[in-house]
A and B are shown apart, each in its own frame.
Chain A
Amino acid sequence: MLKVSKSPWLLHYDGSSCNGCDIEVLACLTPLYDVERFGIINTGNPKHADIFLITGGINKQNESVVKQIYSQMPNPKVVVAVGICACNGGVFKDCYNIMGGVDKVIPVDIYVPGCAARPESIMDGVVKAIALLDEKRKSVGKEAAE
């Protein structure tokens, strides 16, 4: 059995956000917050990733990119929408080319609110994602057995 939950790898993508949440995602990886102590590693390769951290309200041009990254990630995978823009569009909801939330494009499992989302809440979201990843892994195993 794969022990994914022991060391989940993150993929971070900026889906039309203001950069604030992205910087906070990176801040999680650095010495003060240091998510690496949970075995979490930031990767640039979708095919290595278990958890997809996505920020921003997704604009039209980013839509296909996000879908593509999501489809490249192997199952089981968890999507965490970081920041209020990723949850429902936030202050950019009225903008003409903002889709208004990540869940309009790909299925989202965990919502992390905040503008910008604080590193503590991002870590909370990722820890919840790890638990969900475990559940999903079991169901993937069952499907394979059947």
Chain B
Amino acid sequence: MSTRSVVPFGPQHPVLPEPIHLDLVLEDEKVVEAVPSIGFIHRGLESLVGKKDFNDYTYIAERICGICSFMHGMSYCEAVEHIMNIEIPERAKYLRTIWCELSRLHSHLLWLGLLADGFGFESLFMQSWRLRENILDMVEASTGGRLISSVNKIGGQLKDVPNDMIRGFVAKLKDMEKDIREMTDTFLNDYTVNSRLRGVGILTKQQALDLGAVGPFMRASGIALDTRKRGYAAYSNIELEPITSDIGDCYARTYVRIQEIFQSIDIIRQAAEKIPDGEVAVPVKGFPSGEYFMRVEQPRGEAIYYVKANGTKFLDRFRVRTPTFANLPGMLETLKGCQLADVPMMILTIDPCISCTER
């Protein structure tokens, strides 16, 4: 007869750099229920709109999360630009696209490393983080910061990037592609890695729909949705097809993210070919009045930003629905019935970002 026991997981634990607490209800080695408790990183950023004016708030929005920092700042700016009817220069749109994809590249390489660390393959963790440093060098060369770039402003970008540098990035990425493929082939073909990922944590297409999963977690269950197809920044001029898999297990989620790395490299190449010359910002006058929902595709999935402005320099309300929050119900569903040793895999394959979720 099996006995029930509760294993507390977190808040300080070796799987993620961030604190989350799960009470895992076990029957022998099998997880029957997972009860999350969160709030360890809640800072109350949304309430800061009442203390910082809407231009300064860009820097707060960038600090919602250190990984998708650029995308948070950009989406906030785009939302306010929509409210104020500002049309930013074409060049700024393309720069945003390039930086978004660089963020996605470094985020996915970071995640692959954490996944490798999660199943105890330390040299693979080191390899993917070694490759990630090249991406960070590009981000640093073009923005000045490794993680928090602070190049967004309402009405465009604060910095321009020389065309030579962008072409250099494309050439560098082309060289890196071979190294990345060599590294990712280990994830996809290695026998031991496969035994940890295949058939583990299956989320069916119906479950993904019912539980409102987003991003690679959803696409790995066979739903071809990608918010980039809506065409914010310069994505309307970029050709891309959502990458999907219809298996829905940890392996499929790894596969989707790996293919997205190569897709991002392709998008940067397309953007570098099409980027026009010109200004990168337009002057902004007056205060915003109105409200807007902004939807963007972050590395972890679709994020929604709601901005409500009242015609003064302070916004009424700012709200973010982050991808990890949308993926938590799906993750809890996959945790039911899994083995205790697979718990880190389930948690990692939604690519949780607790800082975004709790703000």
Contact = CB atoms under 8 A, between A and B. Distances in A.
A and B pair up: yes
Interface in B38-90: 39-45, 47-48, 51-52, 59-60, 63-67, 69
Interface string B117-142: 00000000110011001001000000
A26 B39 CA distance: 23
A16 B42 contact: yes
A59 B43 contact: yes
Contacts of B52: 94
With a 10 A CB-CB cut-off, give which of B43, B59, B147 has the most chain A CB atoms: B43
Nearest to B140: A118
Interface residues of A, number: 37
Contacts, number: 119
A20 B43 contact: no
Majority SS of interface residues in chain A? mixed
A20 B110 contact: no
A14 B18 contact: yes
Interface string A30-73: 11100000000000101000000000110101100100010000
A61 B40 contact: yes
A20 B69 contact: yes
B19 A14 contact: yes
Given A16-B42, A57-B43, A118 B11 contact: no
A57 B355 CA distance: 13
Majority SS of interface residues in chain B? loop
Contact of B147 (A20, A59, A92): A20
A131 interface: no
A105 interface: no
A27 B133 contact: yes
A24 B136 CA distance: 11
A65 B12 contact: yes
Contacts of A65: 11-12, 19, 40
The 10 tightest CB contacts between A and B, nearest first, are A20-B66, A44-B14, A30-B129, A19-B66, A22-B17, A19-B355, A31-B130, A95-B44, A20-B147, A32-B133
Given A17-B41, A61-B39, A97-B42, 7 more contacts: A16-B40, A19-B354, A20-B65, A44-B13, A91-B59, A92-B43, A95-B44
Interface of A: 12-14, 16-27, 30-32, 44, 46, 56-57, 59, 61-62, 65, 69, 91-92, 94-98, 115-116, 118
28 contacts: A14-B18, A17-B41, A18-B64, A18-B69, A19-B65, A19-B354, A19-B355, A20-B63, A20-B67, A23-B110, A30-B125, A30-B129, A31-B130, A32-B130, A32-B133, A46-B12, A57-B43, A59-B39, A61-B40, A62-B19, A92-B45, A94-B48, A95-B43, A95-B45, A95-B48, A97-B44, A116-B66, A116-B145
